Structure 1
Amino acid sequence: MHIVPAPVAAQTAAPLSCPATQLGQPCSGAGLASAGAAEPELNLGLDNPVHLASGRKYLRDTDLPAHPLAPGLELVRHYNSADPRLPGNPGRGWQFSYDLRLYRQANTLQLIQADGSRLRFNCLPGHTSCTHDRQGLVQADGQGWQWRWPDGARLDFREDGWLAAIRRSDGLLLARLERAQDGRLLAVHSATPGRQLAFHYLQQDKLPPRLTGVDTPAGRFRYHHAALADGWFLSGVERPDGMQRHYGHDPALQHGHPQAITASGLSAAGQPVQWQRRWHYDSDGRVSRVEHLTADGQPGAAWRLEYLEPAHGIHAGLTRVHGARGTTDIHYVLAGGRHRLARVAGIACPGCPAPGLSASYDTAGRLTRLNDLLLLRRPDGSPRQLVLPGSGWTGLKLDYDSQGRMVSWHSERTGTTRLLRRFLAARHTEGRTPPEPPATATRQISIRYANGDRWRAWLDHAGRPWRISATSTGLADAADTFRAEAGESAHATAVRSVPVPAGAHVVDTRITWRDGKLATLEHPHETERRSHDSNGRLLSRSLHRPGADSTPEIAVTDRYAYHPDGRLARHYLPEGGVLSYEWQQGRLSRLDWHDRHGTRHAILHHLPGSGGYVYGNGVRTVGLRDEHGLRYLLSSQPGTATPILAQAIRLDAQGRIIEERFQTGDWRQHLRYGYAASGRLALAENTVAHTHSDTNAKGHVDVDASPRISYLAWHADGRLLADLAAAGRQWQQEPAAIDL
């Protein structure tokens, strides 16, 4: 077995002194072939985002999202401005979500994920497997490597370390990858026949092959580039419908870093580029300024980044963000080989962690405190208990077993609620209905409340419930004597239920599954049956409710049919008649009702060019947007002067709502909002007016209520401190200018 040498230096120092990775997402997220953080992490990004500790620009753009019929096919790109990997399938600094690679480093395997984040697996001498304390294990299989995730999913790698296949936890193949000798993607095949991705390249001069297009089930995506000295940078991506995403590379803003993206924008087919954001870099390749661009491409809201102190050892680093309304101080520490958020002070900035956040970590980078929330851990790092002293439930504590599963929670008002899990070996007694479906073992989850009530669910081998039982008073179970120590599973060969106490009320629900889909659900008051086609789409749904007293029995069935592309085509109604659906460019274009006699009645249809709809009663609904940032939603009846519903919303440069107007009939409402320097809502003005008939005067009278203003104040941790209301006062300031 051979794994190619790592292109980056191995980290051999102690956890607190090893350098933090410059790559990866500021807020880690999982993907089709990438493992996210094993536990929730705090965001360290600004806006689009920029990493607030390293200053590196990160992007995650989706060209083609995964389709339900082929979930293993997608075109998702990750960009890191400091990514040293060459050549980068889509271009310098870019990697597709499939671009994972394993590297051998002494007694470790290092996995570089598509977003640039790294996972290190420890290998014991003489063993074929390498383990990670929270991300599963990697094992040699004679032809390469297999990475098994904690949830059972599996990724297969070639002998040279490149990702070769993706499988679900049940072993089903999601994607099989073909690569060139240098690792370039050539094709991605899904388990669905006829659905694949095919990558096309052009060899030019002595530069690495350039990606020109990818053939997909949705058509060809085209990739446009410009040349660098040692490769290509991506300048644009064109979808099959002609819409393009553009990337700017302005040398005047790059400060000597040619692969740095300086702008991003969009354009419809045949239309000019609408640039949306712009980034400036310093001499160290860090983003020094972020700009939001207006509709005409001019700078709008902007933020300047100042990297005042790097994190080293136990000393926190500091990055200061300067905006038009003030500054935000981001304090961060180095823990577990990564930058971690420690504290945020100042005003809010777009996409940043919220001011008032404060956190602590152990030496492995695991969270131990978040403001007043305490996370108590076992010696192996797994969470043992969460303590929330400031919760609305006085004395709230949540307890977890060694596998991270909640086992109980407690508060002074509710007492202790226990959550029990156990495996039940299947037992068949001759002449009796088996207590479990025919499988070697099932699981039971039981919740026992402080008042003695109980809720129980039995799960099959796939973790799906097949029986749910709720008891209103203390149902005792002889098998509850099983060992319940944290982290230990109980194995019972039989379950003997003590007779239910007199007066107890038990509700039992039975569920069956077929090919992973719900087939039947039997409840004392309702039975539901479903059927699906080979693609998992719902074909029919039958519902039966038994009659009781004066309530008649109900039995209805809905049936469904689909277009070849998988979208809903017909819904056959239980009372007779059909709903028919038509689609264009991925959106609903027409919906009609055909009654039981075959007569067609229009429900709605799309208005070409306007983006709105016309309903069967003639009402039109259209959404509009003007150059001043106002967004309108208008519903009207042709030939009438007064709209049925009109709504207008105005946003500020940070995307916050600062004004709303509503009108429906004779009723009108006007709302305005102002924000404090922290970014939290500080003022809200509400004015309501309506017109009504006056029997003592001719015609109608306008009644305008005095505006009511609410003043809001907040604790630093985000809890509401005060909400004071005043009536009859006029708010004179412009909403966006309010600053407390």
Structure 2
Amino acid sequence: MPALPFCHAFRPRLPLLRFPFLVYVAYLVVMLSLRPATAAAAVPVSNTGECGVTMSCPTALAGPASCGPPAGGATCGAPAIASIGNQGGVNVGAGNPINVISGNKYQREDDLPALPGVLGLEIVRHYNSAYSTVGTTPGILGRGWKLSYETDLYVIGTTLQIMQADGTRVIFSRDANNPSLCSTANPANGRMQILKRTRGEDYAWTWPDGRVLNFDSNGKLLQIVAPTGEFVSLQRDAAGVLMQVTDPQGRQLRLRYPERAATGGGRFGGVASIASPVGTFTYRYGNVLPNGSTAPAATVGANLAGVRYPDDSGRIYHHDDARRPTFLTGISVVGAATPAPQRLATYLYDIDGRAVLSVRGTPARLATGADGKPVKPARLVEGTGIGQVVLDFATPGQTRLTNSLGQITVYRHAIVGGEFRLLEARGAGCFQCGVVNMRYGYDRLGRLVDATQLATDGEALATQHTELDLLGRAVRITRHTYSRGQATVPTMLARYVYADNLPVPGMIARPSVVPGKELITHITYGTQANDRLLPAEITDTGYAPPVDDRADAEPISRTVRYRHDLHGHRIEVDGPLPNAPDKPGPDNSDITRNEYDPTHGLLTRAVAPGGGVTEILERDAALRPVRIRTSDGSVSQTTVLTRNWRGQPTQVSVVAGFLRPGRLDLERQQVRTLTYGYDIRGALTTITLPGNRINRFVRDGAGRITQRILPDGSRIAIDLDTEDRARATSATSATSATSPDAVVLRSATYRYDARNRITDIADPLGSIEHFDYSNTGQIAALTNALGTTTRLTHDDNGLLVAQTRADNTPDAARMTLTRDSHGTPTVITDPNGVTTRRQYDDFGRKVAEASPDRGVTLYRYDLAGHVVARIDETRITVRYRYDHADRLVTMGLDRSPALVAHAYEGTRLTATTTVAEDDPTRVIERVRYQTDALGQITAETRWMARVDAAPADRDAALPGLSMTTTYRYDDAGRPTSVTLPDRHHITYRYRDRPDAGAATSTGGALREILFDDQIVVTDIRQSILGGLTGYTTGSGIGQQIEFDQRGQIVALRALTEARRPNLEAAGSWSQVQAWFKRRPIANGTIIYSQANHYDAAGRLTELRRQTGTTAPRWTPPILAEHFDYDRLDRLTTSDADGVPTRMRYDKGGNRITETTTQTARRYHYAAGANRLIALTQSGTPEATRSTVAHRTGASPASASDDSQQLQSAWFYHSTGVPLARWNVGPISERTDAQSLPDPSRRIVYNSARRPIAVHDGANRLLARYFYNGQGERVAKS
């Protein structure tokens, strides 16, 4: 970019001629004598004072203010409707935010976020303190503010300079060889075309994505055109003042200005109101000079003082800096019902006008005592200093940031390619800062090409490099790490190929999981002007790795096609599954079709694969959906939304019903309604669920959630520090008449290191977890309350590659991971050295697994990514079939692919049919489901054939058992009754009214359960956070459950209640009395108690039980059990009343011994696997030891010893499926070392690892088990 000696700060053409020549010369002298960074502050005030934008007055200071890098602009570079954004690629904001390089205070205010649709209407304002100086001509919304449509073009010499609404600047230079074109050094800025008109030159600025901004000869924006042809029109009056904005959907903003008489006396004539589809926004200007200011009163006339929203809430803008009374120093919010303003933010500036402080609410202030002195230990006044950042610009090229905790971050920066660029950010950062501990590199045009992650000590860890082509498009992205400070060989992450000059890639290539191959995405775009940047077809081609070394990698591919209408709306998505051969559509293929309103171009109807239809039936004045209907052919659900002016839903009602031919069944309609409440900031405060169950959210002055009050009155609280970190959390119970004080159920505190990483979690019972970090920032170790450490190792990409539990102890167990080029674990070695190998294809799907425990399994997929086949190493294949609507239809084997078949009505599962594996014509189970219109199951009918039934057709009437269970629900969706197959019924009752004296609602908690109208459980005491704490049985026995502050059960008690028992359950009560063989027990007597004790790590260490008694002078004994554990939390000792059982384990967690005072058992596992093959017990002679080893494959040493006797042996298929289990009886003396003792019992398993038969020692069948399609045991013969 050629350097300019100076920039004209004047609007071109006629306004320039009105400016006195001597003043113009004086201005140039002043400009040339100033540094670029301070030139804006030295611009002289207009000689006519403040004048309205509709008045004929000099506007010489409306254009660019300096030749150096623009000080203003959004800090994160995001594009807006008329702003292409900052091209630096790095967030340079801190706090609310402040630009850490220039000190510019930037603020974006969304009065009306963009409405639905392409280029939807919006009222968005941008503020830049760099353009808020006294000498800068204000925009139509006040000094320093611009409406998002206020992007202006200035002709300055041979350049065209665009001052964008967000404050950033783009400069084009005229092409000497083609005066109708302009070029820019950075292709990412797009291109400029000069159009000759009779009235002068017009300008068309085309962005790389195809958006076009059209300017008139005065540099005023007239039109914004989307790449698909839709456009926004800006209507102006004869003086070029913006009067109306019309979006492609026909919605309008109408800007009203004060009458000329109202702007007399130097009053600012900015926009007074903007009428929009959601209501009118009003703006007021001017404020009182701050104390100590010596500026003229007219100086603050153009300050934006406030905005009022359609609901009469609004914002107040403060200007309290005496030196710079035009600078924004804070924002407050005010509500219609709460006129007292609430401070949202505060900003301070240094003597040079740079913002040096940003804070939520008010700046940090030390709390003081009654004597006015700071309290000790020092603390801040509650609600002050939240998110506070202080910036120090004293060192050129460096900014020092101090966050609210006093932690430091240092930013290094420079001018690169004529723009401010961030070079490095190191330190603790802040919660509203960009990424820290990063270093950045740029090319000569200031485009980001390198991003280097830094360790906490500044050492380079990894760099991502982006190679750009001549048009500024990424063509290759690589990543390299560092070893001893030296860069390693780069790894290619992606490469891009473009068609012609399109800004979007036609091909993207990434490394394949198969070495030397690539995963390639081919993208074909439309051929018309409206869709040339829209994908018409996307094809992924890659590879699945070979299963063994003898095979080649298998190519894989999938394609999705898109169609668009003349306006670029996507009207069809087709794929990746193949289509039906005849008339493909949503009913028979995976095709989605969309329809749009011809007037405003918004979606009206979408048909998904399977025929599910979503329709937008109604929109509000802003064209936001307010009535949406979904139907699947059998059920229709209509969602009705009530919205506030922001578009937030205040009520959502779902009306559902079944569809009869041609109409909706009104008699069976159901309604569910939710309501939402918001505060004056628009933040969510309440959610009311059906049944009047209310969730409340309590926020602090900064708008952060500090409490959530649940429907039953229990609370979750979070104590946040000024950096938005949780210092403490707690869960408390609800209050009631019987419990007026809330009880803390659980709580925790948190500590952090200097990098704001969590280091410790503790609760009132002690430490819970401690975290240590590596130099790269990953968690390196976790230490529990007992001091046991789990150590984590990560690779150069930050991915976990090893985990060692109980590190540096005899119990240490290490697991390792090896990953493929996509970062997916492919080799997992457990602490026993047992290795499982997995292979994934380029689409991330697991295609093979080889495990010593489970054998080899292969997986096959359809084009949509569903598993369609699972093959074990014996070539037994389980097959799955899905339809085009993503629904599982059948599951079975090769010889019987439809063992289980599912039937649907729309999206609802209505039936499951299971047939016999050996006879597909014989139905063995059928389940039918009925649901209500909201999808809740109302009936389940299960039919099961007799296991001895003769073969029959699946639709024939078969002998068997039919069982129907029905369900009913209340209007809140809670179950109210269940009728069982035997016609007995269960009833549920809820607490829908608060108990007397309760401070909060009950939240609709369950109160009692009845069986055949007889109470079996009543007075259920539970809370959402505290769980079940007690109940009373129908026989009058009360159950009490106590928890500690970790949610662990510490006590159980059963006692007689003080109330009369339920007479309907007198039989049960009589049984209780008979059990004690005493007279009726006095009310409140404890008949059973249990106490649980835990160690610091939350493991159960002692359990004490005691039964109650009414016998005089006799106390029942306490039965105690004690438990010990190793460092891997495995039970090592269980001592029941002095009789211990001790356990030992191998590194992988398999139990290897179990010893009591009477016996010693050993568990034996297959070599190189975790499969249990034998269980031995004391007493086996040498012959048996050798036999176990011979038959099971275990080494003789590991199988047994001279004192061990074989108890059980397991035999497996090579796939890891158990074939049989032999339970061995007493051993008689034998001399044949190769013979097993006769088994007393043999258990046979099926391929699903379920027992299907039991044989005795003579191989006689003792039992046979039968299962349904869900694997549940349904019969025994």
Are 1:366 and 2:414 an aligned pair? no
Report if the CA contact (8 A) 1:507-1:524 is conserved: no
What amino acid maps onto 2:183 in structure 1?
T
| d(CA) in 1 for partners of 2:252, 2:68 | 43
Report if the CA contact (8 A) 1:62-1:75 is conserved: yes
Report the CA distance shift for 1:340/1:685 in structure 2 as closer, same or farther (over 3 A): farther
Partner of 1:695: none
Report the CA distance shift for 1:422/1:306 in structure 2 as closer, same or farther (over 3 A): closer
Deviation at 1:77, TM superposition (A): 1.2
Partner of 2:284: 224
CA-based RMSD? 4.2
**Structure 1 or 2: more helix by fraction:** 2
Q: Which moved more, 1:62-71 or 1:138-147?
A: 62-71
| d(CA) in 1 for partners of 2:691, 2:441 | 60
Partner of 2:352: 284
Partner of 1:631: 706
| d(CA) in 1 for partners of 2:306, 2:404 | 30
Report if the CA contact (8 A) 2:620-2:626 is conserved: no
In structure 2, list runs of 5 or more residues that go unmatched: 1-10, 17-23, 38-65, 288-296, 364-380, 453-461, 483-487, 546-551, 580-588, 659-664, 680-684, 735-742, 789-1277
Deviation at 1:660, TM superposition (A): 3.5
Partner of 1:700: none
What amino acid maps onto 1:199 in structure 2?
R
| d(CA) in 1 for partners of 2:745, 2:779 | 31
Q: TM-score, normalised by structure 2?
A: 0.45
**Within-5 A mapping of 1:590-605:** 590-596=652-658, 597-598=665-666, 599-605=668-674
Query: Partner of 1:177: helix, strand, or coil?
Result: strand
Deviation at 1:468, TM superposition (A): 5.2
**Within-5 A mapping of 1:140-539:** 140-143=194-197, 144-179=202-237, 181=239, 183-193=240-250, 195-202=252-259, 203-226=263-286, 229=298, 231-250=301-320, 254-271=321-338, 272-293=340-361, 299-301=384-386, 302-311=388-397, 317-321=398-402, 323-371=404-452, 372-375=462-465, 377=467, 380=470, 383-390=474-481, 395-401=491-497, 405=505, 407-410=508-511, 414-417=515-518, 419=520, 461=532, 463-466=534-537, 511-514=562-565, 516-519=569-572, 521=574, 523-524=577-578, 526-534=589-597, 535-539=600-604
| d(CA) in 2 for partners of 1:609, 1:42 | 34
| d(CA) in 1 for partners of 2:93, 2:554 | 57
Report if the CA contact (8 A) 1:246-1:264 is conserved: yes
Partner of 1:448: none
The higher relative CO (CA closer than 8 Å, separation ≥ 6) is in 1
Query: Partner of 1:595: helix, strand, or coil?
Result: strand
| d(CA) in 2 for partners of 1:344, 1:395 | 25
| d(CA) in 2 for partners of 1:656, 1:217 | 40
Partner of 1:589: 651
Deviation at 1:119, TM superposition (A): 0.7
Which of 560, 569, 591 aligns to 2:627? It is 569
Query: Partner of 1:121: helix, strand, or coil?
Result: strand
| d(CA) in 1 for partners of 2:676, 2:79 | 39
Are 1:65 and 2:113 an aligned pair? yes
In structure 1, list runs of 5 or more residues that go unmatched: 312-316, 425-438, 443-458, 475-500, 546-554, 688-703, 731-740
Q: Which moved more, 1:66-75 or 1:237-246?
A: 66-75
Report if the CA contact (8 A) 2:85-2:166 is conserved: no
Report the CA distance shift for 1:560/1:257 in structure 2 as closer, same or farther (over 3 A): closer
Report if the CA contact (8 A) 1:248-1:262 is conserved: yes
Partner of 1:24: 73
Report if the CA contact (8 A) 1:604-1:613 is conserved: no
For residues 10-33 of structure 1, the C-alpha deviation after alignment (integer angstroms, 9 at most, x for no partner) is 99xxx9997332222232221001
| d(CA) in 1 for partners of 2:527, 2:106 | 48
Q: TM-score, normalised by structure 1?
A: 0.74
What amino acid maps onto 2:707 in structure 1?
Y
Deviation at 1:49, TM superposition (A): 0.9
Deviation at 1:461, TM superposition (A): 4.5
Deviation at 1:648, TM superposition (A): 3.0
Report if the CA contact (8 A) 1:255-1:281 is conserved: no
Partner of 1:622: 696
Report the CA distance shift for 1:417/1:609 in structure 2 as closer, same or farther (over 3 A): closer
Deviation at 1:422, TM superposition (A): 8.0
| d(CA) in 2 for partners of 1:412, 1:570 | 44
Query: Partner of 2:394: helix, strand, or coil?
Result: strand
Q: Which moved more, 1:45-54 or 1:71-80?
A: 71-80
For residues 320-366 of structure 1, the C-alpha deviation after alignment (integer angstroms, 9 at most, x for no partner) is 43643332222111212222112223322242233311122233222
Larger radius of gyration: 2
| d(CA) in 2 for partners of 1:261, 1:619 | 43
Query: Partner of 1:308: helix, strand, or coil?
Result: coil
Which of 112, 121, 146 aligns to 2:172? It is 121
Report if the CA contact (8 A) 1:393-1:411 is conserved: no
Report the CA distance shift for 1:239/1:558 in structure 2 as closer, same or farther (over 3 A): closer
Partner of 2:188: 134
Are 1:108 and 2:159 an aligned pair? yes
| d(CA) in 1 for partners of 2:726, 2:96 | 20
Q: Which moved more, 1:523-532 or 1:71-80?
A: 523-532
Report the CA distance shift for 1:65/1:3 in structure 2 as closer, same or farther (over 3 A): farther
Query: Partner of 1:355: helix, strand, or coil?
Result: coil
Report the CA distance shift for 1:664/1:506 in structure 2 as closer, same or farther (over 3 A): farther
| d(CA) in 1 for partners of 2:224, 2:304 | 27
What amino acid maps onto 1:576 in structure 2?
V
Q: Which moved more, 1:86-95 or 1:663-672?
A: 663-672
| d(CA) in 2 for partners of 1:673, 1:256 | 43
- Identity in percent: 22
What amino acid maps onto 1:134 in structure 2?
A
Q: Which moved more, 1:254-263 or 1:601-610?
A: 601-610
Report the CA distance shift for 1:385/1:685 in structure 2 as closer, same or farther (over 3 A): farther
Report if the CA contact (8 A) 2:142-2:303 is conserved: yes
Report if the CA contact (8 A) 2:74-2:86 is conserved: no
For residues 630-659 of structure 1, the C-alpha deviation after alignment (integer angstroms, 9 at most, x for no partner) is 63334436xxx8x6xx53333221222333
Query: Partner of 1:612: helix, strand, or coil?
Result: strand
Partner of 2:140: 89
Report the CA distance shift for 1:310/1:725 in structure 2 as closer, same or farther (over 3 A): same
Aligned length, in residue pairs: 628
What amino acid maps onto 1:659 in structure 2?
A
Report the CA distance shift for 1:189/1:679 in structure 2 as closer, same or farther (over 3 A): same
Deviation at 1:373, TM superposition (A): 1.6
| d(CA) in 2 for partners of 1:59, 1:93 | 10
| d(CA) in 1 for partners of 2:609, 2:495 | 41
Report the CA distance shift for 1:178/1:146 in structure 2 as closer, same or farther (over 3 A): same
Deviation at 1:577, TM superposition (A): 4.2
Deviation at 1:559, TM superposition (A): 4.7
Report if the CA contact (8 A) 1:78-1:114 is conserved: yes
Partner of 1:656: 725
For residues 456-475 of structure 1, the C-alpha deviation after alignment (integer angstroms, 9 at most, x for no partner) is xxx9745233575768789x
Deviation at 1:224, TM superposition (A): 1.3
| d(CA) in 2 for partners of 1:375, 1:45 | 23
Report the CA distance shift for 1:729/1:588 in structure 2 as closer, same or farther (over 3 A): farther
